[in-house]
Amino acid sequence: MAKVLVIAEHDGAKLNSGTAKVLACCGELSADAIDVLVAGNGDGLDAVCAQAAALSGVSRVLKNARAENAAPLAAMLAPQVVDLAGDYDYVLGPSTTFGKDLMPRVAALLGLPAVSDIMSVLGPRQFERPIYAGNAILTVNVPDGVKVVGTVRVASYKAVGEQSPAPVEAVASGAELPAHTRFVELRSGAKDRPDLQSATKVVSGGRGVGSGENFRLIFELADKLGAAAGASRAAVDAGFVPNDMQVGQTGKVVAPELYIAVGISGAIQHLAGIKDAGTIVAVNKDPDAPIFEVADIGLVADLFEAVPALVKALP
């Protein structure tokens, strides 16, 4: 009787699509029950629970409303997850910033190793995960009788579909919460573009874009396409754009249907973040740039001419 607990990621009103991808991985575990834990507080929590309950494969949604959960702080959530993890065989979250922050803490509190970035399930206790920027695949074996705690690589799974809603039950964790961490404020950039990790289209700029001011070209193209905007690490390190836009080994892993790389050379650390992209389009003035080795469509051109022309040509 394998039981799975999935930790939902949400913003207080809307479930992040990563949760539906974790459920796709759970589908490979031959689990008898898959419960989704929705921790939060506030008016939007019921809507989040309803969205989770409608996802295919979910047996129950566990609603954990608590004032301290109003902001998703890993330090606060981890002891509650541990408290509620009881007899579950698997406790899984998405390999997003949220999951990468939370799940290792849960594993550490349980005294277990974390299984990170599960990209496929070979058996009930055997998983594959990428290492060395995706250039090698590691097989991870978890001993029998040990709870599997970890993250699922969301770029490796397609979101599950819908079902008639599963029941939603209120749960309460009496876990003692740490006093060392508290929510102060959230400052976030403009939210008028899709989220990078769940977007179906992404336009990224690299060092070739030249400056933060020039990045408006990337934003214009992204907006025309309804795409998220990303960047290479060189563009982030040069201060053109904030680091939450970074795509790659030490940034975000994306899996859009369309990825447009503008003024990006195609270093392996950048490619590690776009391995699961559908169609890759590259605009680069250097015909020998390594990005052209992975691009499905390559345009050897000066981006300052090509991008405005593309923006103009698009409806």
Ligand X SMILES: Cc1cc2nc3c(=O)[nH]c(=O)nc-3n(C[C@H](O)[C@H](O)[C@H](O)COP(=O)(O)OP(=O)(O)OC[C@H]3O[C@@H](n4cnc5c(N)ncnc54)[C@H](O)[C@@H]3O)c2cc1C
Contacting residues toward ligand X, per CB under 6 A: 206-208, 232-235, 246-251, 263-265, 267, 269-270, 273, 283-286, 289, 302-304
Q: Output the smallest distance, CB 117 to ligand X, in A.
A: 14
Nearest to 266 by CA among 281, 245, 244: 281
Q: Which of residues 15 and 272 has its CB atom nearest to ligand X in the complex?
A: 272
Question: Contact, 6 vs 34, CB < 8 A?
Answer: yes
Across 248-262, b (16+ Cβ under 10 Å) vs e yields bbebbbbbbebbbbb
Q: Which of residues 24 and 241 has its CB atom nearest to ligand X in the complex?
A: 241
Q: Which of residues 263 and 298 has its CB atom nearest to ligand X in the complex?
A: 263
Q: Output the smallest distance, CB 95 to ligand X, in A.
A: 14
- Owner of token pair 């990045």: 215
* Residue 279 CB coordination number (10 Å): 13
DSSP letters for 1-29 = --EEEEE--B-SSSB-HHHHHHHHHHGGG
Q: Which of residues 65 and 267 has its CB atom nearest to ligand X in the complex?
A: 267
Q: Which of residues 60 and 207 has its CB atom nearest to ligand X in the complex?
A: 207
Q: Output the smallest distance, CB 135 to ligand X, in A.
A: 13
Nearest to 235 by CA among 248, 254, 222, 220: 248
Q: Output the smallest distance, CB 211 to ligand X, in A.
A: 11
C-alpha 258/C-alpha 222 separation (Å) is: 11
DSSP 8-state assignment for residue 50: H
Q: Which of residues 196 and 234 has its CB atom nearest to ligand X in the complex?
A: 234
C-alpha 69/C-alpha 112 separation (Å) is: 24
Q: Which of residues 85 and 254 has its CB atom nearest to ligand X in the complex?
A: 254
The tokens for 105 are 């803490």
Q: Output the smallest distance, CB 272 to ligand X, in A.
A: 7
Q: Output the smallest distance, CB 228 to ligand X, in A.
A: 15
Q: Output the smallest distance, CB 203 to ligand X, in A.
A: 14
Nearest to 168 by CA among 40, 9, 61: 61
